[in-house]
Structure 1
Amino acid sequence: MFLKEYRVCMPLTVEEYRIGQLYMIARHSAEETKGSGDGIETVVNKPCSDEEHGEGFYTEKKMYLTSRMPGWVQSMIPRIFYVTEKSWNYYPFTKTEYTCSFVPKFLIEIETNYENNNGSSDNAVDLNEEMLALRQVDYVDIAFDQLSSGEYDEKQDCTKFQSTKTGRGPLMEGWRDTTQPIMCSYKVVKVFFEVWGLQSKVESSVHRAIRDILIRGHKQAFIWMDEWFGMTLEDVRKYEDELQQQTNARVVHGLNTQEAS
């Protein structure tokens, strides 16, 4: 097991981020679903409850990825290859699990807590002593950290964006120590891959991919602020439902086309 805690700050309050995150995930999922069979299908999205965390939402998604794999990988895997995401959202605490349809010994577990601070909490996810001893802390800066690929998109440069609705931004050097409001997403990520000889390489690769996802997703939530700021939770849930129906239809159409060919 490879365990890391990512701390990602945003120039928002925890309640604002709740809306921005839901908007970003819904829009990003829609943009990633092109109708070729690849994309994100929402299978379940319903209320749930927990004795400790109270009322929340349970979501299950299938992320179809086959055509994005290198050719040599595609020759070894089923034509319809997907990752299953199961998420329990008891905001401000969430838990997410990822499993793979092709690799049964692969599992990613993520526990997240959101707090109104700049990443200063020592143990926001309440890890036990054993987990604390294994933990590596990684501070992710949405303004200055780059994707591992080196890819750059000026439209998502937080050092050049200023919100017309809130006046927040651009984010300058040292912004996490000077910006108000500010909140932090504390994400404890555990990666399990029990295949001898490949475990360390695959787990390291997964953490690199997760870090990229955190950078890109949090950049988008900030850059798209003027589109979601002012929405209520009811507004963003309606937006989420509408996009889920559209993306599900595109994914199903693409899968049916693959099976018929």
Structure 2
Amino acid sequence: MRAAQYFQIVRFSRVVLPMTVEEYQVGQLWSVAEASKAETGGGEGVEVLKNEPFEDVPLLNGKFSKGQYTHKIYHLQSKVPSIIRKIAPKGSLAIHEEAWNAYPYCKTVLTNPDYMKDNFFVKIETIHLPDRGTTPNAHGLPPEELAKRDVVHINIADDNEFLHAGDIQPSTTPSTYVSTKTGR
């Protein structure tokens, strides 16, 4: 029997946003709810198994310990071409997501227990801080992991970095959008 080979990518994406972390939390909750609503139904999309408060779960070196726990299954059959659906092994198109949202910190774990078992594991940790991406070690990594870390700076206000000319609309483009509520 061949031993599984694992690799780890430590990548930090720093995204400076034109809003407070409190404003972002409202937008994030709304976006997640809308996406789940749009993708749920008919056995396809997002299946919510659990959505409940948690306490006494130490996260980010014990800095956070309570919040909202969710366990979802993403059924991806309708998201792939029909030829893939026909040849994909049973269970391979179901991704499990467990998330511990202790805003401003969230830990998300993605697995595929029905097909890939322990051979597929993605952990995403996010923290939203009231700075401009300048905190040197926001996740409190030990020195050996910090040395392997790759930092990617993402400027959402740079229209040319992520958008095609045809996608730029003044009402939704980050560089020109102005909130009527905040005036920013």
TM range (shorter): 0.7 to 0.9
Q: Equivalents in 1 of 2:50, 2:22: separation in Å?
A: 24
Q: Equivalents in 1 of 2:27, 2:93: separation in Å?
A: 30
- Which residue among 164, 167, 183 is the counterpart of 1:152? 167
SS in 2 for 1:94: strand
Partner of 1:66: 77
1:16 and 2:23 correspond: yes
- Which residue among 88, 103, 106 is the counterpart of 2:116? 103
Structure 2-normalised TM-score?
0.79
Deviations 1:177-222 (A, max 9, x none): xxxxxxxxxxxxxxxxxxxxxxxxxxxxxxxxxxxxxxxxxxxxxx
Assess, with a 3 A threshold, how the Cα gap between structure 1 residues 97 and 81 changes in structure 2: closer, same or farther. same
> What CA RMSD, in Å, does the superposition of the two structures yield over aligned residues?
2.4
Deviation at 1:54, TM superposition (A): 2.8
SS in 1 for 2:16: strand
SS in 1 for 2:144: helix
- Counterpart amino acid of residue 155 in structure 2: D
Partner of 1:25: 32
Partner of 2:4: none
Q: Which has the higher contact order (CA 8 A, sep 6+)?
A: 1
Q: How many residues align?
A: 166
Structure 1-normalised TM-score?
0.57
Q: Equivalents in 2 of 1:164, 1:152: separation in Å?
A: 22
Aligned-pair identity (%): 35
- Counterpart amino acid of residue 15 in structure 1: E
- Gaps (5+ residues) in structure 1? 169-261
Assess, with a 3 A threshold, how the Cα gap between structure 1 residues 73 and 150 changes in structure 2: closer, same or farther. farther
Tell whether the 8 Å contact from 2:39 to 2:46 is kept in structure 1 after alignment. Answer: yes
Tell whether the 8 Å contact from 2:92 to 2:115 is kept in structure 1 after alignment. Answer: no
Assess, with a 3 A threshold, how the Cα gap between structure 1 residues 156 and 36 changes in structure 2: closer, same or farther. farther
Larger helix proportion, structure 1 or 2? 1
Deviation at 1:150, TM superposition (A): 9.4
